Amino acid sequence: MKTLDEIIGFIGAGNMATALISGLINNGHEASKIISSSPEQEHLDKLSGDFGVLTSKNNQKVCEDSNVIILAVKPNIIERVLSEIKENVDQKDKLVISIAAGVKIENIESIIGSSTKIIRAMPNTPASIMEGVTALSSNERVKETDIEKAKILFGSVGKTAEIKEKELDIFTALIGSGPAYVFYLIESLLESSQNLDLPTDDKINLIASMISGSANLAIASTDSPQNLRKNVTSPGGVTQKAIEEFEKQNLKEIIKKSMKAAEEKSIELGDK
C-alpha cells in the first residue's frame, strides 16, 4: 500500500485519532512525521509511548508544523478549535480533514475561509481494528492529489469511498451507524440462544464469527446477496421457516423505514 510523505498533524488524541495513527505507523509512515495535540497530557503520553510520535498541547504548533491537519475533535468544540487555528491554515496551502460528525464543510469554511482545502471524512468504529469504512467529501479547493492523500490516510484503517457531501446523511445511516445495527443483531441472536448450553463468550464468538464469515463470503462471491441467501435456504427447511417469519413481520420494510428515519435525523443534526 502507498504511504504518505507528509507531516500529518492531529488535533485531538482520542480513539479515532489513535486508530488512524496506529494505521499510519503500521502502513510504514514515519513516527517523526506525525504530531498530535491534546489538552490531556495522559493521552499525549500514551501516543508518544505507544507509537513514538511527536506531541504538543499547542494546536497552532501542530498546524504550523504539518502539511495535512486532521481535526479529530468533538463537534461541540470544533468552532473554538477552528477559530484558534484559522491564521495557521487560511491561505497556507494546507489540507484540513475534519472527522467531526455532522459538521458541514460550509460551516468549517465560514470560520477558516473558503480558500482552505477541506475534506470532510466520516470513518466508522471498526477503523479501530483496521476494518473501517470511511466516506470522503471535499470542497472546490481540494485537488485530486489531496483526495489521494486522504484515501491513503484512511485506507490505512480500512476501505474508503469518495462521495458528494449531500450523500453523507444516507452514508451515516447505512455505514456510519451500521456497526450498531450489527451489534443489535448479535444481541438479538444471543438472546435467542438460551437453549444452547455454551458459555456466553463462546456464543458471542460463534455468532460474531458467523456474521463475519457471511460478510466475507458476500465480498468474495460473484453471487448477489439474494442468491447467496437462496443457496442457504432449502425448500421446506429450517432456514426457509425463519425467512418466512421475517417476511411475515415485514422485516425489509422495517429496515428501510429505519434507515430513512436515521437519514432524516442526520440531516436534522447537520442543520443545527
From the options 1.10.10.10, 1.10.3730.10, 3.40.50.300, 1.10.287.70, give the CATH code of 176-270.
1.10.3730.10
pLDDT value for 268: 87
Overall average pLDDT of the 152-164 stretch: 96
Q: Is the pLDDT of residue 1 over 80?
A: no
Residue 201 has pLDDT above 90, yes or no: yes
Q: What's the confidence (pLDDT) of residue 54?
A: 96
Query: In the predicted model, what is the mean pLDDT of the chain?
Result: 94
CA distance 172 to 102: 9
Q: What is the pLDDT of residue 137?
A: 97
* C-beta separation of 38 from 57 below 8 A: yes
Contacts of the segment 162-169: beta carbons below 8 A, 24+ positions apart? 162/135, 162/136, 162/137, 162/138, 163/135, 163/136, 163/137, 164/137, 165/104, 165/105, 165/120, 165/137, 167/135, 167/137, 168/120, 168/122, 168/135, 168/137, 168/266, 169/263, 169/266, 169/267, 169/270
For the segment 23-68, what is each residue's pLDDT rounded down to a tens digit? 999 999 999 999 999 999 999 999 999 999 999 999 999 999 999 9
> With bands split at pLDDT 50, 70 and 90, how would you rate the model's confidence at 5?
confident
The pTM score is 0.91
Domain map (residue ranges) of the chain: 8-163, 176-270
The Cα-based distances of 36 to 12, 78, 103, 184, 238 in angstroms read 7, 16, 21, 34, 53
User: Once rounded to an integer, what is the mean pLDDT over residues 161-174?
Assistant: 95
User: What is the rounded distance in angstroms from the CA atom of residue 244 to the CA atom of residue 131?
Assistant: 33
CA distance 24 to 158: 11
Q: What percent of the chain has pLDDT over 70?
A: 99
Q: What is the mean pLDDT of residues 136-160?
A: 96
Superfamily of domain 8-163 in CATH is NAD(P)-binding Rossmann-like Domain (3.40.50.720)
pLDDT of residue 138: 97
What digits encode the pLDDT tens for the residues 85-115? Answer: 999 987 788 999 999 988 999 999 999 988 9
